[in-house]
Structure 1
Amino acid sequence: MKEMEIKLPNDESENPPYEYTYDYDEVCHKEKVVKVGSIALPLFFSLVVLLSLFGNILVLVILARYESLKSLTNIFILNLALSDLIFTLGLPFWSCHFIWGWTFGNLMCKGVSFVFSAGFYSSMVFLMVMTVQRYVAVVHPLSDWETGPRLAAVPVLAWVVSIGAALPALLQSSVMPDTTDPKTMYCKYSSIEALLAATYQQNVSLVVAFLIMSFCYIRILQTVLKSKARRRHRTIRLIFCIVAVFFVGWTPYNVVIFLKSFTFYDIPAFTDCNVSDNLDYALYGCRLLAFSHCCLNPVFYAFVGVKFRNHLKEIVQLFRSKIKTDPQQPRIATIPGSQGSMY
């Protein structure tokens, strides 16, 4: 997939200064960079899609079969799995985009961009509210905010915020021809201003979420260290691991897209072709790391969540019993759902 670069006008008396286009090949030749991206990203995305679909659908099955959705933590985990699946749905389209350009039309361009952006923001928002929920449960245990109508309102509000944050991707994305090959189409933001606004919105959102979650975990840690009943806080460890992986994955990506935004301000250090190529390669690597987050959460449920492992073992046993030829083979009894979280 071709990236965007600066094109400066030759005559500033007739055109405004710093008129930007997508015509990067007139500044830097990036055939090698584009070739690397068209091979590495689709292969990696294909693996991520398979793992994410398997892992997150398994999480939904375990929640539906064994657990009570009266637990706020379980509700958040269910929505987080849905968010990861939504994010995953965009990866096959982007894989094709990196290989052949955009061949799905303008409506699909807007829809996939919106779904993809909503998946990112909803993951971040649900991780943030999960952290706040653990903060209230540990630091302010006498609070009753998890009961009553507010329980149902929290996930709904989280989705409203996520969808609102993703609206620019829906409104500003469009199919545009490649200036060097008009037959090749790309799905991208329709203007540089829209691209920069989306980049900085994502940067700011990540920083705000990081500050909120950092404050919550510092206070949680202070409270837990003073408590004698530390075994009660396995859920905190699980959520902390998921949050940590989210930021480890998305922070480098956001740093790189922030640095790439400087190429649109005619800063010589960033318009140099070698620097631009290195940023493109860094973007490919960071994109692989960031986009893989959607398949990693189930892995942490399995390694950190004791009840999740037990439920997973039971599903395996049920599957084995079904494939046995003896029709009288007794089935394994299921464990009824509990009122707490599955972790």
Structure 2
Amino acid sequence: MDYTSPTPMGATEVNAIKYYDYDSSVTEDYRDFSNPCDKSFVRDFRKYYEPPLYVIITFLGVLGNALVIWIYAFYRTRVKTMTDVYLLNLAVADLLLLLTLPFWAADAIGGWTFGPVLCKINSACYKINFFSSMLLLTCISVDRYYVIVQTTKAQNSKKKRLLCSKLVCVIVWSLAVVLSLPEFIFATTKDSEDSTWQFCTMVYHNNQNNRTKIMVLALQILMGFCLPLAVMFFCYACIIHTLLKTRNFEKHKALRVILAVVAVFVLSQLPYNAMLMVEASQAANVTITDCHVSLSFDIATQAMKGLAYTHCCLNPFLYVFIGVRFRRDLLKILHHYGFVSPSGKLGKTPFRSSVMSDTDTTQALSL
């Protein structure tokens, strides 16, 4: 993102310096320091940190999410519950988001060489799938709450809920497109100060007060973290309360799954969103004026952004492959294509539903 922070009250000397932002490579005209602040180290860190990390995340994420889509494509009658619909859309959203990472890795190495149109498209595709993924996680939490806590109502309205889930997915994708409009409008390429390379970034036209930048950041924090987190905490708290009251079920395994889902979401998303909050504060009212503090902030932001991306490759394992049903279906597909023998252990495993699988009444509580 590209912005010029307002000059602090009473400042008499202004020096333009290079400032690295976590959504792109570098911005310019950062005017909050009394002396020039050399941030070339941040670019070097990004060059060596992001590409290998993004390659690993993309490889694991594409493999996991492609397997999920493959299972749904192989078993066409499998998409018969709300959670199935949400999981399929989540896999598509995560897969499409992961496909934007190689472009950002290339940008970290040698700047943006793909032109302004692809810059805008790549930025928008990233945000569309980011918001879709987070909103679909919210929908999965609500559906699990409804199936486990509101068991009777859930059983009596299966067909209606399945139809509703498809409508919800259309709304989620449409909302994600709307939330990504800032990328369509403001994302573009910019030359570096020495004009030796370009970077893909958000360029706002009201740099004097940064209101647009603050609104964009606030929107991402609210819809991409705060809302999903609040819904997940409420739904899973109610689910845990219900599980603790049940008897004769392997509720400790179900509790581990729930805690893992919430823990991974918080640990991967909270640090990055905390950095977004600091940047929004910086845009609204200059809070970082020391060069060393700014360097540390930039490095931490780059690291936390990479951590946030890991959620895309972990989703298939958290929401899908922890369930015996998906593992059994995968084994059947592998056997169908001759990759495994029919005597595999999972092939003989009696069916037990996952807490993330939409099943009848109490079966949804066990793994």
TM-score (ref. length: structure 2) = 0.77
- Pick which of 236-245 and 27-36 moved more: 236-245
> Which residue, 17, 36, 57 being the options, matches 2:66?
57
- Tell me if the contact between 2:123 and 2:187 (Cα under 8 Å) persists in the aligned partners: yes
Instruction: Tell me: CA distance 1:302–1:264, structure 2 relative to 1, closer, same or farther (3 Å).
Output: closer
- Tell me if the contact between 2:86 and 2:165 (Cα under 8 Å) persists in the aligned partners: no
> Which residue, 19, 22, 32 being the options, matches 2:28?
22
Say whether 1:297 aligns with 2:315.
Answer: yes
> Which residue, 177, 184, 198 being the options, matches 2:197?
184
For residue 166 of structure 2, what is the aligned residue in structure 1? 152
* Partner Cα distance (2:269, 2:80) in 1: 31
For residue 51 of structure 2, what is the aligned residue in structure 1? 42
* Partner Cα distance (2:342, 2:152) in 1: 46
Q: What is the CA distance between 1:317 and its match in structure 2?
A: 3.7
**Unmatched 5+ stretches in structure 2:** 13-18, 20-26, 360-366
Q: What is the CA distance between 1:11 and its match in structure 2?
A: 10
For residue 113 of structure 1, what is the aligned residue in structure 2? 123
Q: What is the CA distance between 1:284 and its match in structure 2?
A: 1.4
For residue 170 of structure 1, what is the aligned residue in structure 2? 184
SS for the counterpart of 1:147 is helix
* Partner Cα distance (1:137, 1:303) in 2: 20
What is the letter of the counterpart of residue 28 of structure 2?
Y
Q: What is the CA distance between 1:51 and its match in structure 2?
A: 1.2
- Pick which of 36-45 and 234-243 moved more: 234-243
- Tell me if the contact between 1:260 and 1:270 (Cα under 8 Å) persists in the aligned partners: no
For residue 210 of structure 1, what is the aligned residue in structure 2? 229
**Unmatched 5+ stretches in structure 1:** 14-19, 323-328
Instruction: Tell me: CA distance 1:10–1:199, structure 2 relative to 1, closer, same or farther (3 Å).
Output: closer
For residue 252 of structure 1, what is the aligned residue in structure 2? 271
- Tell me if the contact between 1:260 and 1:279 (Cα under 8 Å) persists in the aligned partners: no
- Tell me if the contact between 2:2 and 2:203 (Cα under 8 Å) persists in the aligned partners: no
SS for the counterpart of 2:174 is helix
What is the letter of the counterpart of residue 237 of structure 2?
I
- Pick which of 136-145 and 76-85 moved more: 136-145
* Partner Cα distance (1:229, 1:171) in 2: 56
SS for the counterpart of 2:159 is coil
Say whether 1:8 aligns with 2:7.
Answer: yes
Q: Deviations over 1:125-156 (max 9, x none)?
A: 00101100111112222225542342421211
* Partner Cα distance (1:132, 1:321) in 2: 37
Instruction: Tell me: CA distance 1:266–1:161, structure 2 relative to 1, closer, same or farther (3 Å).
Output: closer
Q: Deviations over 1:15-74 (max 9, x none)?
A: xxxxx9722497411011110111110111111111111111011112222461112111
Query: Percentage identity across aligned positions?
Result: 30
What is the letter of the counterpart of residue 38 of structure 1?
K
- Pick which of 126-135 and 245-254 moved more: 245-254
Say whether 1:271 aligns with 2:289.
Answer: yes
Q: Deviations over 1:194-238 (max 9, x none)?
A: 332221111122112211221111111112211226448977865
What is the letter of the counterpart of residue 61 of structure 1?
W
SS for the counterpart of 2:201 is strand
SS for the counterpart of 2:263 is helix
RMSD: 3.6
Instruction: Tell me: CA distance 1:321–1:77, structure 2 relative to 1, closer, same or farther (3 Å).
Output: closer
* Partner Cα distance (1:141, 1:302) in 2: 21
Q: What is the CA distance between 1:87 and its match in structure 2?
A: 0.8
* Partner Cα distance (2:310, 2:124) in 1: 19
TM-score (ref. length: structure 1) = 0.82
* Partner Cα distance (2:177, 2:259) in 1: 25
Instruction: Tell me: CA distance 1:233–1:141, structure 2 relative to 1, closer, same or farther (3 Å).
Output: farther
* Partner Cα distance (1:132, 1:302) in 2: 17
* Partner Cα distance (1:86, 1:23) in 2: 34
> Which residue, 313, 318, 322 being the options, matches 2:331?
313
Q: Deviations over 1:137-192 (max 9, x none)?
A: 122222255423424212112212222222222222122222x2224222111115
* Partner Cα distance (1:209, 1:330) in 2: 41
Instruction: Tell me: CA distance 1:189–1:233, structure 2 relative to 1, closer, same or farther (3 Å).
Output: same
* Partner Cα distance (1:146, 1:125) in 2: 22
- Pick which of 312-321 and 88-97 moved more: 312-321
